């Protein structure tokens, strides 16, 4: 066989291999996509006890915005479209894929429901994994939209509103840079993945509570430096803010167990960490490490069953709502300019007060160990 013949034979083999691979992929696509109800082992996992053990949160910024707009514009109307329902519908329809067609899928189902052609219940009755995506996405987004009261100007009267009551982790007027760095390699201590989102800025930039909750962890960790962990009132979300400022990392008087309201200043950006010695700047670049852990069962709090989600598109979405702050005299302290009343925080405080009066203790959480080693 000559050189030309051998080339033709080789090309023929390559073409045959490509055709075979394409056929296999098509077959797999038919099996997994079928009639629009998608079974994804990468995103749909539950334990024998029934709680979710893994979530791939791939909801795009555009989809978040589209679903949110429908939720807010229909609030108080005859038909109110819940943004998490809309996102869960697309997740169940496309197996968690929020590509370019996701916003159109949201628009299509939303308009059908508003026109009375269907209901969310009817549209999802044959979607095997709708309930999974509904629970998973509610765990990520559940505390960010709702009713609240806020001052429209400093010291002014409170106005009732409905909409985005979650805030960007970085205060208004303080710019930062970021990119999608979830899952990239980290090597301090040992090789691991970066299970958070880094937001690069200036030392002393005020860091904001994204959602109302209670301070679960506050102090030094060799990986996160000065850090704060805040748990949502429903227990599903653990917000982790790390590498805070040397010498003055926290909002004055903040301590474990305190209740914070979304939009409050909780700390200040720095570059502490990567040291067993406390209060050391061993991080090269000033930034906030912002992490979000989902907890469906307390056994997932630490160890091999932790669920951390990619927050890049979520922080882009939260940029819509940035807390305005002002400096307190000549101090290093900053505080929010317009106070907010969050019904979730008010209800939680009532519950705690009732427990204290009846002599019942609220649950406390031991300091995190293994979790923090794998997030920064």
Which structure tokens are listed for 11?
């090309």
Instruction: Decide if pLDDT at 37 tops 60.
Output: no
Greater confidence, 29 or 62? 62
Q: Partners of 260 in the beta sheet?
A: 213
DSSP state of 360: P
User: What was the pLDDT predicted at 24?
Assistant: 40
Residues 6 or more apart from 300 whose CB is under 8 A from it? 53, 294, 306, 307
Alpha-carbon span 21 to 35, nearest angstrom: 23
User: What was the pLDDT predicted at 181?
Assistant: 87
CA angle 176, 177, 183 (to 5 degrees): 125
Alpha-carbon span 113 to 118, nearest angstrom: 5
Spatial contact of 291 and 308, defined as CB atoms under 8 Å apart:
yes
User: What was the pLDDT predicted at 142?
Assistant: 97
pTM of the predicted model as reported, rounded to 2 decimal places: 0.84
Residue range 91-112, pLDDT digits in tens? 999 999 999 999 999 999 999 9
User: What was the pLDDT predicted at 192?
Assistant: 62
User: What was the pLDDT predicted at 375?
Assistant: 65
How far from chain centre, in Å, is Cα 173? 22
Residue range 237-258, pLDDT digits in tens? 999 999 999 999 999 999 999 9
158 burial type by CB count under 10 A (0-12 exposed, 13-18 middle, 19+ buried): middle
Residue range 124-169, pLDDT digits in tens? 999 999 999 999 999 999 999 999 999 999 999 999 999 999 999 9
DSSP state of 316: H
Instruction: Decide if pLDDT at 211 tops 90.
Output: yes
Of 8-17, 223-232, 240-249, 354-363, the range with the lowest mean pLDDT is: 8-17
């Amino acid at each position: 066989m000559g050189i030309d013949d051998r080339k033709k034979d080789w090309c023929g083999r390559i073409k045959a291999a490509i055709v075979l691979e394409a056929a296999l992929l098509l077959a797999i696509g038919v099996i997994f996509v079928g009639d629009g109800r998608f079974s994804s082992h990468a995103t749909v996992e539950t334990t024998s006890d029934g709680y979710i053990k893994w979530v791939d949160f791939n909801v795009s910024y555009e989809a978040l915005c589209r679903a949110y707009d429908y939720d807010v514009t229909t609030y108080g109307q005859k038909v109110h479209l819940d943004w998490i329902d809309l996102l869960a519908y697309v997740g169940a329809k496309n197996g968690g894929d929020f590509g370019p067609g996701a916003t159109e899928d949201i628009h299509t189902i939303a308009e059908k429901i508003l026109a009375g052609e269907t209901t969310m219940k009817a549209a999802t009755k044959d979607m095997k994994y709708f309930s999974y995506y509904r629970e998973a996405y509610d765990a990520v987004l559940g505390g960010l939209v709702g009713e609240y009261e806020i001052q429209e100007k400093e010291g002014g009267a409170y106005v009732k509103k409905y909409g985005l009551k979650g805030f960007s982790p970085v205060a208004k007027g303080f710019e930062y840079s970021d990119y999608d760095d979830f899952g990239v390699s980290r090597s301090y201590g040992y090789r691991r993945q970066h299970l958070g989102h880094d937001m690069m800025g200036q030392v002393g930039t005020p860091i904001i509570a994204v959602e109302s909750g209670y301070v679960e962890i506050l102090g030094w960790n060799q990986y996160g430096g000065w850090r704060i962990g805040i748990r949502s009132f429903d227990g599903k979300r653990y917000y982790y803010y790390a590498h805070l400022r040397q010498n003055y990392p926290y909002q004055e008087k903040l301590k474990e167990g305190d209740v914070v309201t979304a939009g409050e200043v909780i700390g200040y950006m720095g570059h502490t960490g990567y040291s067993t010695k406390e209060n050391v700047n061993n991080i090269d670049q000033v930034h906030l490490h912002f992490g979000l852990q989902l907890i469906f069962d307390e056994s997932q709090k630490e160890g091999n069953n932790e669920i951390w989600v990619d927050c890049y598109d979520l922080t882009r979405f939260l940029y819509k709502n940035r807390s305005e702050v002002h400096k307190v005299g000549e101090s290093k302290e900053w505080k929010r300019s317009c106070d907010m009343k969050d019904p979730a925080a008010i209800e939680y405080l009532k519950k705690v007060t009732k427990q204290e009066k009846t002599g019942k203790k609220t649950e406390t959480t031991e300091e995190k160990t293994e979790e923090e080693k794998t997030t920064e």
